[in-house]
Amino acid sequence: MNTLGMIAIVVDDYDGAISHYVDDLGFSLLEDSILSPEKRWVVVAPSKDGAKILLAKASNEAQRGAIGNSTGGRVGFFLYTTDFAQTFQKFKSNGIEFIEEPRQEPYGQVVVFKDKYGNKWDLIEQK
């Protein structure tokens, strides 16, 4: 059996990224290890289930150019919740930018938001 264990999101600063994903989005900081003076291994996750996120600090111009646009402007990340209304309100009160109003789809309730970097996420409560 294969499992998707982790994805990487390119960020500009480790501490700012940790603050956003942990404080604003409610993720847990699972690991923050120093690998070199310039590089850390920073892993966050919204829960113990599912894939984790490696917060990867951009180290060159090409990587800095990809910050916030790793999926070409499409929604590229999907955050499932069991309480849409509560999560939506919490994110709003934490200053998360929503680019539409919540809507009902055949698969559940959904709304698109942007993280601190401009990456688009679906917040979804599945049916």
- The 10s digit of each residue's pLDDT in 23-62 is 999 999 999 999 999 999 999 999 998 899 999 999 999 9
- The 10s digit of each residue's pLDDT in 69-117 is 989 999 999 999 999 999 999 999 999 999 999 999 999 999 999 999 9
Round the CA-based radius of gyration of the chain to a whole number and report it: 15
Backbone angle region of 93, left / alpha / beta, with phi > 0 → left and psi within -120 to 50 → alpha: alpha
d(CA 123, CA 82): 10
- pTM attached to this predicted model: 0.93
